[in-house]
Amino acid sequence: MALSVVILAAGKGTRMKSSLPKVLHTLADRPLVEHVIDSAQALNPSKVVVVYGHGGEAVPQALSGHSNLSFVCQQEQLGTGHAVAQALPLIDDNDQVLVLYGDVPLTPIDVLQKLTDSQPDEGISVLTVMADDPTGYGRIIRDQKNQVRAIVEQKDASPEQQLINEVNSGIVIAKAASFNRWLSQIDTNNAQGELYLTDCIGLADKDGVEVVGHLASHEWQVAGVNNRKQLADLERVYQRLLTDDLMDQGVSFYDPARVDIRGELSAGQDCSIDINCVFSGTVALGNNVSIGPNCVICNTVIGDNVVIKANSVIEDAKVGTDSTVGPFARLRPGAELKGDSHIGNFVEVKKATIGVGSKVNHLSYVGDASVGDKVNIGAGTITCNYDGANKYQTIIEDNVFVGSDSQLVAPVTIKQGATIGAGSTITADVNEGVLVLSRTKQREISGWKRPVKKKK
């Protein structure tokens, strides 16, 4: 039987105090609803329908890069039952329909799979959880045989029912034809004046079909976001899940609570990551990589035995085996360290290749350049790659020594084995093996006096 998924994403999120639709607030730098879409699509559904409302077209526009999505607008916010009813015309009556929520981002795929597997052909399955504090949630009403009979919302629950700790997550699955039948029978005769999707549970019981309550193991698995504090709490839960997985793979964290992974981080064995590091995009670490505190690394591949020292920023780069970067270094997009290379403090590398065994250790800028093997670039060196209109290439061949405070004005080639004397400005190609000096001759002026301030 085919599976369709309906994701409810129409809520305004008043308590977020934001003009942005709630489901577009981010967890690990991605909209909440994208996490839900990923989980839904992992179940290989025939269709995923997103019901949006508040914020107009903002939600469909934000999700335009996702395939296999359909959208329907809930013009009036009349409750969860009404929202699901808007999506059903897009779904075949024989499909099983799994209802998810765009602000419930952390339900594990295996939990959803077990819920769908427990679905009786003509009945309904609901995902529940035992809550430490059930206030505000719909209570699960079971009979003496422990079968689910109804869900009673907080505002409609009796004092006795409010003592129940098993609560409704809102995540349910049933056949589309069954939802159509039940939703046509519900009304707004309740405390909130809305069409409750949860009323389908009682109607299913009246129909004599099976109602299955599948219990989630942790509250965070079904936790929704209604305010920024809840969002922050779920962020830490999500980050800890990621770091726990990496620790199982052999990565050490100085403090897992002070690391943020905002994308995909993979790592080999015996890597260590210090505090306050942020990883975004796709980052791959080899074996025995050490990352110091306060580093930001984005879309980067780092080889084995690399040391990234404190406060370094690396973006869209490649760092070869046995290299060292930092502290306070910046590798900008297109930087590639070939291996056993050293990029030191306050060095910036952009769209440049640094060869094997080469060193740029202090206070330098290397941009739009090709640097060969075993090159030493002294402190304060700049590749002057931009004339105000166009950018040009600097080529530094193998075994070149560039003295401190040198300017290499591109386009220029420094051939193999050449030495650039400190303080030189190089404007023409340099031949192989030569020493180049372009600084003025030192001279002394006797009897010179420093200027002094004039008395007023």
Pairing of strands 382-384, 166-175: unpaired
* Bridge partners for 342 per DSSP: 324, 359
Q: How far is CA 224 from the centre of its chain?
A: 18
Burial class (CB in 10 A: 0-12, 13-18, 19+), 228: middle
Q: Residue 191 CB: number of other CB atoms within 10 A?
A: 10
Beta strands in 164-306 (DSSP E): 166-175, 211-215, 251-253, 259-267, 271-273, 277-285, 290-291, 296-302
Backbone phi, then psi, for 240, in 5-degree steps?
A: -70, -35
Work out the angle at residue 294's Cα, subtended by the Cα atoms of residues 288 and 300, and round it to the nearest 5 degrees: 55
For residue 221, give the 3-state DSSP assignment: helix
Q: Return d(Cα 207, Cα 200) in angstroms, integer.
A: 10
Helix axes 199-207, 176-183, angle to 10 degrees: 100
362 an active-site residue?
yes
For residue 67, give the 3-state DSSP assignment: coil
Q: Which of 25, 35, 66, 362 is catalytic?
A: 362
Contact, 115 vs 168, CB < 8 A?
no
Buried (b) or exposed (e) across 382-413, using 16+ Cβ within 10 A? Answer: bbbbeeeeeeebbbbbbbbbbbbbbbbbbebb
Q: Return d(Cα 107, Cα 173) in angstroms, integer.
A: 15
Quick one: which H or E segment has residue 366? strand 365-371
Beta strands in 372-441 (DSSP E): 376-377, 382-384, 394-396, 401-402, 407-409, 412-414, 419-420, 425-426, 435-436
Backbone phi, then psi, for 144, in 5-degree steps?
A: -65, -20
Q: How far is CA 73 from the centre of its chain?
A: 27
Q: What is the DSSP letter of 391?
A: B
Size of the chain, expressed as the number of residues it contains: 456
Q: Which residue has the tokens 């301030």?
A: 453
Q: Which residue has the tokens 């739009």?
A: 368
Residues known to be catalytic: 362
